[in-house]
Structures are given as C-alpha cells and as structure tokens.
Amino acid sequence: MFKNKAYISIGSNIPPRRKFIDEATKRLRRDSNIALIKRSSIYETCPNGSNFDIRKRFLNGVVEIETSLGPSDLMSRLLGIERSLGRTDSKRCLDRAIDLDILLYNDDIVSNGDVVIPHPRMHERDFVILPLMEVSPDTVHPVIKKRIRDIYNAREMKVFTSPQAAYNHLFSEKISGKRIGFVPTMGYLHEGHASLLRRARRENDLVVLSIFVNPTQFSAGEDYKRYPRDLKRDARVARKEGVDVIFHPSASDMYKKDNSTRVDVEGLSENLCGRYRPGHFRGVATVVAKLLNVIPADVAYFGQKDAQQAFIIKRMIRDLNMAVKIKILPTVREKDGLAMSSRNRYLSAAERREAPVGYRSLILARKMIEKGEKRSEKVIRSMKDFVHRNSNAKIQYILIVDKDTLKDVKTVKGAVLIAIAFYFGGTRLIDNMIVN
Amino acid sequence: MFKNKAYISIGSNIPPRRKFIDEATKRLRRDSNIALIKRSSIYETCPNGSNFDIRKRFLNGVVEIETSLGPSDLMSRLLGIERSLGRTDSKRCLDRAIDLDILLYNDDIVSNGDVVIPHPRMHERDFVILPLMEVSPDTVHPVIKKRIRDIYNAREMKVFTSPQAAYNHLFSEKISGKRIGFVPTMGYLHEGHASLLRRARRENDLVVLSIFVNPTQFSAGEDYKRYPRDLKRDARVARKEGVDVIFHPSASDMYKKDNSTRVDVEGLSENLCGRYRPGHFRGVATVVAKLLNVIPADVAYFGQKDAQQAFIIKRMIRDLNMAVKIKILPTVREKDGLAMSSRNRYLSAAERREAPVGYRSLILARKMIEKGEKRSEKVIRSMKDFVHRNSNAKIQYILIVDKDTLKDVKTVKGAVLIAIAFYFGGTRLIDNMIVN
C-alpha cells in the first residue's frame, strides 16, 4: 500500500498497560498515512534491570507498518500519539503510559536531532528482539548486518547440569530483579511443551526449561529406560522458543545414593493414574519440590494434559508455602485431536490412526452431559463402548471425578474431570477434559 | 588504671578478617597508654546495604578501653594501627583490612578536624549497638541521652502472623543483600534457644525467630494442648537477643483445612523417638519445610538436644535441594546437667531433683566406652540400672545408634549417638550424647 516499511516498538508501564498499548495500536491504524501490517504478542519485561516493582514493569510489543511518511514525520506522529495518551516527559525514566519508537525504517540509517534509526541497542534487548523475531525474523539490521533471526539465535542460552550452579546463577538473576518463568519437562519436546515455553517467554524476563527423565516416578516395568531422549533436538526447540537457561541434570546430580526424603500429596494422588501407578505421584511431587528449590521461579507452567499431576503440584506448592505461582495451560492436540505426548512416537501407524479415539470419547461424554445426562456410570459405559467399537485400544480406566478432590462422582454436578487412560500394546496414553 | 573510658569499634572486611581484628586488639593492648578492659563477641554484618559479595562483608566488634590519651591522640594511635595493618585510604569505601573508630569517649562531645565523638550515626547501626550492648548496656549516649540498652530496645522488632506477609518482608530484605539467620522454635524460650539466637545474631544481618506449636507433630494423647505458651515472655527474650523478626502464625495460618502434603524422611525417622512417636517426624519435617519456604533463610539453627530432629532436617534440606545451611549447636544444660527443655516446667520439685539422671547415665556410658567397652547391650544395661537405682524415672528407650544412619549398633565403632527417653509421670524428657 505504502512504499516504506517500518517496525515500531510499543510499550507501557502504567496501568492499564494493555489498554494503552491497544489504544496506541488503534491510533496507528487510524492514521491515513500508515497501514498496520502485523502486531507481535505482548511481552512482559523488566527492561531496566533491578526492578521488583510491578508498577514499573513494561508490557512490550512490536508492530510492522507500511507508511508514506518519512522518518521524521513518522516520529512526530508517534510523539503525537504518546502525548494524546497522556505521556509527559517530566518523569521520563519511570512512568510511561505509552512509549513508541521507530526500530527500523526500510534499511535506512538515520541520525539527526529528531530520530536515530535503527534504534540504538535494539539488537541487545530481548524486549525488542523477541517480539521482532515473531513479526519479521528475516529482516536485516542495517548496521550490524544480521538478520533478526541470527541476532535472536546468538542470544546466549546457558545449560546447567549441577543443581548448585543452576541455583547460584538463577538466584543472582532473580535478585537483580528478573522474573523467572519455569517449564519443567522430561524432554523430547513437542508442541505442547513449546506452548508452555511461549507463554513463559511472554510473561517473564528469564525462561528456564528443565529436562529430566525422573527415575523415581517410573515403576519397575514402566518405560523409564526407553523413554525418548534427544537433547540436541530439545536444545533447538528451546532456542527457537527463547529459552534462557536449560537445566539438565543427571539422575546422580539429582539423587544422592542415600536420599530418603519423599513428598506425598495425599488424597489427590490416590485416584486416577495414582490407582494404577503406585508411587508415581510421590516421585513427581518429590522431584518437582526439588526442581522448584533449584529454580527460584516466579511462575511454573504445566499442561492440562497431565491434569492430576498439575493439581497435585498446585496443592503441594500451596501446602508447603512455596513462593511460586503455577499456571496450567490447555492441552495441545494434533489435527485429529490426539493429545500431544512424547509417548506418541511409540505408536505404530495403525495405532496412531486409532489413537484419537480417547479424545473423541471425551467429546462424546461432554455432549451427553450437556444434553442432561448426570449418571457417571452411564457416561462411562458409553465412552467404553465407543472406544471398543472404534479401536483396538485396551482401556485402563475411564473415570469421572470431582475437579477439586479428584474423587469419583456418581452424579455429575459442578465441575468434573473426565479422564481416560488406555493402551495400544505397551504404549500407555492419557487424556482428559474438564466439564462444568 | 587510666582516668578516661572509651569505646572503640573494630571491623575488617578483608580476609583473614578475624586475624586482623585479633591483631588490632593485640596492638591496642600493647599500647602503654591504653588498658583494654573488655571485648565483645565478633558479629558478621553487611553494613552498607545491598551486598552479596562475601569478600565485602564485615566482621565487627567493640572494645572497652581506659586511656590516658585525649581524643585526638587516641585517634592518631588508632590510625597508626590501621596503617600498620596495611590499610590505605585509596579504596576507602570498599576494602578495609582494619577499621578502628572511637565511638564514645567518656561522655564528651567532640567535633574537630580529627575526630567526631560520639561517632555519627552509631546509634542507628546494629553492628555498633549489638556488640556495645554486650559490653556496656548502661553507658549513656551523650548526644541522644539514652542508655545503649534503651537504644537497643528501641530497635524495631516486627511480628508477623501471616506467612505471605512474612515472606514478602523477608524476601525484600534478602534481595537487598541481608543474610538471614533463622531459629525455629515452639516458643517458651529457654537458655538453649537463647544460645541459638545469639549465634544467629553474630553470624547474620537479620535474625528471625519462629514460634509455632505445631499440632501435626503431636499424636493424640500427647501434650499439644498443654504445651507451655507465653508470647509476651518470649518476645522479651527475643528482644534481649536482638531478634529482628518474630514469625508467630496460628495453626490455621499454617494449615488450610484440606492440606494434604506430607514430607517424610525415611530411614532416619524410624528409630529412636520415631519408634515411639509415630508420625512425629513427618509432622516435624513437613512444618520445617513450610517454615523454610516462608523464611528465606541463609542459615537455620537447631539444638543438638533434639539430635534426631536436626539430622532429619539436615537430610531433608539436602535431599530437597533447599537453599539453606543448617547449624547444629550444643545442648545447653542446667547447672546440674539437666538438658534445657520447655517441658522441664512440668516437673515436680522431687522429679526436678532426679531429672539429671538421664544426663548422668550418658556420662556413665561415655566413660564405659572410653574404657574400651564395645558391646552396646552391656552399656545400655548399665545405663538402665543406673537410672533405676537413682530415680523413679520410667525409661522409654535407651539406644546406641550409628550417627549417620541412626540404626542400632551392636558393637560401638566410629561415631555413635547414645540417646535416652524417659518419663516422670506424664512428662517425657530426652537427652543424648555423641561419642566417637
């Protein structure tokens, strides 16, 4: 539409921050000399170092525009928008209802009294590079002559195997004011993990990924040894998602020979998978307690797919007064509905085709409940029939439980968790759905 | 000896800090115009705010002297000692092999080119007031006209009941660079607790005392309800020992109704008291895990009297990767050898007279082992006989266990823990000794 392409950074640290950003975006869109092409996700950052004060934290994003305006004219439009949204320069370094800057303008290099383009040090700043990576990874920075993608990839990603070294590094980052987001995993990352990492990236200054196949949560005869591992591939995914630190200990880094401390979350651990995998959740709770002591996170991210695990950890964090928030994000699914899982790779082609049957049985259950069915037994029987009719899966359990206590409910009332565990040969899959 | 009394502060932040302080003290003592009367304990402090760098932390103390020198002459002697110990003023604010200052000189008020007495802001500084309180609490500050004792008592002592509020306050102190020492107790403080608080005071910038009679470590029929409580008295002791923060939650502040998370330290919890108080150490481990999450301590202090408890907590901290060090300090005893305990108050006068029998049986055991007896059975039998001959106590157990595993040993070898639990009526007492 217009011949010049520019990238504008947009930030706010005065509530309502999101609203200010949306309003500024709207005013850009409304300008007849500007066409708004794309806007990145909005990231929460702590741009100026040590700063625990939530009121001073910025939300930041980047917009791609096309425009007929030259750099100086564009800049005065941006200043106009800033002023119209109440920005004064008196408290310049502290409070900014809205902060607009030209990052790049074509591949021009400009430096005069009004504007400096590219924006100085933009290439050193995560709160510019991360959103810009989303919007236009192949744009070349005209001064340092590198693609955004390459600047992004050159960001240092640290890998720790020692719990003490990881803690020392992360605690010193934390006291410098950084908010730490943490995604604990067993590795072999898939799109479900990636969605957690992306959310962590948007909401924190520093993203930590742990990769640890925890032996204590596997029983004898389970797949501990053959659980898929591929650190190189995981590191590529981590880099792509903007991870700052990977914590990847060995079993002996995590467990001294005479270790003997166990964390149990009673009640919540007994039903569902806990009934069929004795000791599993004790292993999970213990290792997550350890990980949360090593990684002084502000927020930890878990997937809804392992709903029972997430609820148990949430309870543990509350009961043990751990200083971390937990966020549980939706299950990510393949196109045919199969919940993403590292174990899906065990499936043969035929099994893979049948595997969505679990998810489809959950949808069937939801429909029955929405239509008024209240008897758990009836819903479960229909799910079982459905699975048997449509696959060779062996059902381990189908249960309908209270969302808070995880105890079986005879009659559906309030929020329930419907959960299924089933086998194809030696491959165990789980899935679940919350129905209100 | 000399007519003028003065108080000198003495500090060092360059290793070997203790040696520098001792050397400076020696040089003061050697001066023929100075008589050294008293020196305080040495405190570790972080005098200038945010400072995690151990190399910059100060050791501080105060000496009381008498001298024939006037203030200016005294000051030049101090400067001479500083120079002779290698202090240069080039990096004045950072590195000080030795730092000597006149705090008070009689009740003179002096301000000239050489010296300012009393030392400015000395009354605001814990690292002056705490050691001065030890050396001369009744000296009056000539400018603010208050006794050191009153300045000390006017230091703010915060009391928190909410875990979240306590954490918020202490975490912000921690990130400002303060080292936090923590003494967890069930209150009704005695000299044993006071010894922990004093050690914590000397080694940390901020001392936290928790007072919480934890219901989950008492079985039905034990003394949870009648366990002695006296917050007013405890607060007086705390203030006397320089506590900065008391954490004093209620049971409902600590335990939500549906709490269900338990921490077990297996192995170590099974013998000794664990054998007779089922669930006790699970309650202890769980509440200490909680307390250590609420109080972001650098060091936690426990008494040797509850040796099994201390060992269990040390193991838990290691196994769960908690970022805190634990120090176990010697049992403090009454003059007749009875280990200090809040439960001693339950004893009748007659029982109190007999109560040291437990300690005396431990001494007997140590003597036997030192003389070459290796058979645990023989030692235990002699202890039992001794207790029965000398008191009406009912023995619950006498055990000799390996110091690391806490498992019974048949033959004494290496370090063993000899432990006794006995009753006078409904009052249960314990004591122990480590013998190598």
Q: Mean per-residue pLDDT for A81-100? A: 76
Inter-chain CB pairs, A–B, below 8 Å: 87
pLDDT of residue A397: 98
> What is the DSSP secondary structure assignment for residue B41, as one 8-state letter?
P
Q: Please indicate whether residue A210 or residue B172 has the higher confidence score (pLDDT).
A: A210
Q: Tell me whether residues B264 and A262 touch, CB distance under 8 A.
A: yes
Whether residue A93 has pLDDT greater than 80: no
pLDDT of residue A51: 45
Whether A112 has its CB under 8 Å from any CB of chain B: the answer is no
Q: What is the DSSP string of B294-363?
A: HS--SEEEEEGGGHHHHHHHHHHHHHTT-S-EEEEEPPPB-TTSPBP-GGGGG--HHHHHHTTHHHHHHH
By C-alpha distance, the chain B residue nearest A263 is: B263
What is A158-329's CATH topology? Rossmann fold (3.40.50)
Q: Mean per-residue pLDDT for B69-98? A: 83
Q: Using CA atoms, how far apart are residues B235 and B244, in angstroms rounded to an integer? A: 11
Q: Mean per-residue pLDDT for A339-359? A: 97
Q: Mean per-residue pLDDT for A407-436? A: 96
Q: A229-261, pLDDT tens digit by residue? A: 999 999 999 999 999 999 999 999 999 999 999
pLDDT of residue A155: 87
Q: Tell me whether residues B285 and A261 touch, CB distance under 8 A.
A: yes
Q: Domain B4-154, what architecture?
A: 2-Layer Sandwich (3.30)
pLDDT of residue B56: 65
Whether residue A50 has pLDDT greater than 50: no
Q: CATH 3.30.1300.10 in chain B, residues?
A: 342-435
Whether residue A47 has pLDDT greater than 80: no
Q: pLDDT over 90 for what percent of chain A?
A: 86
Q: What confidence tier does A172 reach under pLDDT thresholds 50, 70, 90?
A: confident
Q: What is the mean pLDDT of chain A?
A: 93
Query: Which of B321, B325, B403, B406 best probes binding to A when mutated, by most A CB atoms within 10 angstroms?
Result: B321
Q: Mean per-residue pLDDT for A150-173? A: 92
Which SS3 state, helix, strand or coil, does residue B78 take? helix
Q: Please indicate whether residue A401 or residue B45 has the higher confidence score (pLDDT).
A: A401
Q: Tell me whether residues A290 and B174 touch, CB distance under 8 A.
A: no
Contacts of B406 in chain A (CB under 8 A): none
pLDDT of residue A88: 66
Q: Is the ipTM of this complex over 0.90?
A: no
What is B342-435's CATH topology? Pantoate--beta-alanine Ligase; Chain: A,domain 2 (3.30.1300)
pLDDT of residue B428: 96
Contacts of B172 in chain A (CB under 8 A): 52
Measured between CA atoms, how close is A175 to chain B, in angstroms?
Answer: 5
Q: What confidence tier does B49 reach under pLDDT thresholds 50, 70, 90?
A: very low
Locate B271 and state its tokens. 């013998």
Which residues of B are identified as catalytic? 193
Q: Tell me whether residues A268 and B258 touch, CB distance under 8 A.
A: no
Whether residue B233 has pLDDT greater than 80: yes
pLDDT of residue A403: 95
Q: B388-412, pLDDT tens digit by residue? A: 999 999 999 999 999 999 999 999 9
Q: Does domain A4-153 bear CATH number 3.10.25.10?
A: no
Q: CATH 3.30.1300.10 in chain A, residues?
A: 343-435
Whether residue A74 has pLDDT greater than 60: yes
Q: A51-64, pLDDT tens digit by residue? A: 455 556 889 999 99
Which SS3 state, helix, strand or coil, does residue B380 take? helix
Q: pLDDT over 70 for what percent of chain A?
A: 96
Q: What confidence tier does A49 reach under pLDDT thresholds 50, 70, 90?
A: very low
Q: B128-174, pLDDT tens digit by residue? A: 999 999 999 999 999 999 999 999 988 889 999 999 999 999 998 89
Whether A260 has its CB under 8 Å from any CB of chain B: the answer is yes
Whether residue B367 has pLDDT greater than 60: yes
Q: What is the mean pLDDT of chain B?
A: 93
Whether residue A46 has pLDDT greater than 70: no
Report domain A343-435's class. alpha beta
Nearest by CB: A318 against B256, B264, B265 = B256
pLDDT of residue B44: 84
Nearest by CB: B268 against A260, A265, A266 = A260
pLDDT of residue A97: 87
Of B160, B237, B234, B244, the residue nearest B200 (C-alpha): B244
Q: What pTM does this model have?
A: 0.87
Which residues of A are identified as catalytic? 193
pLDDT of residue A160: 94
Q: Mean per-residue pLDDT for A50-78? A: 84
Q: Mean per-residue pLDDT for A264-273? A: 96
pLDDT of residue A386: 98
Which of B:47-106 have CB within 8 Å of A? 52
pLDDT of residue A112: 87
Which SS3 state, helix, strand or coil, does residue B274 take? helix
Q: Tell me whether residues B293 and A321 touch, CB distance under 8 A.
A: yes
Least confident of A72-81, A150-159, B32-41: A150-159
Q: CATH 3.40.50.620 in chain B, residues?
A: 158-329
Q: Mean per-residue pLDDT for B100-116? A: 93
Whether A315 has its CB under 8 Å from any CB of chain B: the answer is yes
Neighbours of B139 (CB within 10 A): 18
Q: Mean per-residue pLDDT for A340-365? A: 97
Q: What confidence tier does A28 reach under pLDDT thresholds 50, 70, 90?
A: very high
Least confident of A91-95, A217-221, B239-243, B285-289: A91-95
Q: A297-325, pLDDT tens digit by residue? A: 999 999 999 999 999 999 999 999 999 99
pLDDT of residue B51: 45
Backbone φ and ψ of B211, nearest 5°: -125, 110
Q: Mean per-residue pLDDT for A387-393? A: 97
Whether residue B52 has pLDDT greater than 80: no
Q: Mean per-residue pLDDT for B99-107? A: 96
pLDDT of residue A9: 96
